Amino acid sequence: MKIKNFKTLVYEFPLKEKVVTSFGEMDSRPALILEVKTTDNIKGYGEIWCNWPIKSANYKVNLVHKVFKYFIQDIKFDSPKSFYNQINDKLSIMISQTGDTGTFQNIIAGFDIAIWDIFGKKIKKPINQIINKNANFQVNTYASGINPTNCKNTILNSRKNGFNKFKLKIGFNKKNDLKNIDSILEILKKNEELIVDVNQGWDFNNCKKLLKEINQRKIKWIEEPIISSLDINKWENLSKKSLNPFACGENLRSKKDFEMFMKIKNIKYIQPDICKWGGFSETIELNKIIKKYKKIYCPHFLGSGIGLIASAHLLSGSKSKGFLEVDINPNPLRSEFLKKELINGQYFQINNLPGLGILKIPATIKKYLKNIEKSKLN
C-alpha cells in the first residue's frame, strides 16, 4: 500500500470570548485537517496540531506540500507502524538540520492518525479494538478550557451538561488564581473535582510560594506548573512540596523524556497529545511505559473533532482509568464531528465503525475553511 494523494484543509472558527492562558490569548480556534487516500482507494483523516500560534497552520501546510510529500511518495507499507518507522527514518537528517523538531513531529503525528484510520477501514475494525480487542466504547471525560473570567458560571453551565470534573486556567497572578480556585471549590458537590492548569506559567521560585497556598486546597491535579524544559531536578523538588499531584506531557517529545518525568513520584497523570507528538504509533508504545510506572494516562487535546475522536480511541484502547479532555467552549470544528459521542458530559461514546468512524468532513464547517491544498504523488 502507498499514499496516492492527500490534501490539507485549514479551518478557523472565530471565538466570541477569547481563550485566555498564561502564555497568551486566542481569539479563534484553528484546525489543520489531513485527508489521505491510498493506492487501494481508502480515505483516512488526521489532524496536525496548530493551536498556537494561530497562524502556524499556514507554515505547516507549506512544509507538508513542498517538503514532506517528497519523503512519503515512495513509502510502501502494510501497517501504520511500518509507515511511521519509515517516515521517521527518512526525515531524521532533515529534522536534525532544520532544528524544527516540534513542527515535523506535529506533521508526522497527523499522517500517522490518518494511516491508522485507513488501516482500520481496510481491516474493518475500529482503532480502539485494534489496539486492544477488549476495549469498550465509552471513556470518562472532564470539562476543559475554563477561562479565569466568569469561571464560576462556566462551571455551573458545565455541570448542567453532566460534567463533574472541571479544569481551570490559572498562572496569571496569585490573588486572582486563588480567588478563582476558592470560588469554585465553594460550589463543588461531593462527586465533583477541580483541576488547575498553569500552562507552564510559573517560574521555579513563584511555584514554591504558590504551592504553599494551594496545599491548603484539594485539587485533583496541577497541570504543567513550570516549563517542561526546566531542569528535571526542579520538577522533582517542587513535586515533593506539593500535597496535590502533578500532571504533564503535552509538551514532551520522546519516550525518553516521558520516562524521566514518570520517575517522579508525585507526577501522577501523563498527558501526551496525539496530534502534537507520536500519533497512535508512538503513544501506544508510551502507554506500556505509563503502566510500568503505575501512572494514569489522560490524553491532552484541544482541537477539532478528528483529534478528539482519535484521543478517545487511544484512551479506550489503553484501558486506562484516565479522562478525556473535552473543551466546553463552542467550536463547530469539534462539535460537528460529534453527533452522538457525548453522553451526559461524563462519558464519551465511541462509535463502532471502522477506523476513526469518520466517513467524511461535515459540510457544515465549510464556511470556516480558509485554505485547501492538494498533492498527488507519483
* Distance (Å, whole) CA 300 – CA 305: 13
The rounded mean pLDDT for the chain is 95
Closest Cα partner for 252 from 145, 144, 105?
105
The per-residue pLDDT for range 130-166, each reduced to its tens digit, is 999 999 999 999 999 999 999 999 999 999 999 999 9
Reduced to 3 states, what is the DSSP secondary structure of residue 4?
strand
What per-residue confidence (pLDDT) applies to 18? 85
Full-model pTM: 0.97
Residue 10: HSE in the Cβ half-sphere, 13 Å Cα cutoff: 18
The pLDDT-based confidence of 340 (bands split at 50, 70, 90) is low
What mean pLDDT is predicted for residues 224-250? 97
- Cell 461535515, located at residue: 362
For residue 184, CA distances in Å to 167, 179, 193 come to: 11, 9, 10
- Cβ–Cβ under 8 Å, residues 12 and 33: no
Chain-centroid distance, C-alpha 245: 20
- Cell 503502566, located at residue: 291
Which H, E and C letters describe 185-253, residue by residue?
A: HCCCCCCCEEEEECCCCCCHHHHHHHHHHHCCCCCCCEECCCCCCCCHHHHHHHHHHCCCCEEECCCCC
- Angle between helix axes 279-292 and 255-262 (nearest 10 degrees) is 20
The per-residue pLDDT for range 207-220, each reduced to its tens digit, is 999 999 999 999 99
The pLDDT-based confidence of 31 (bands split at 50, 70, 90) is very high
Instruction: Walk me through the domains of the chain, giving residue ranges and CATH numbers.
Output: 3-125+359-376 (3.30.390.10), 129-349 (3.20.20.120)
What per-residue confidence (pLDDT) applies to 25? 87
Structure letter (DSSP) for residue 65: I
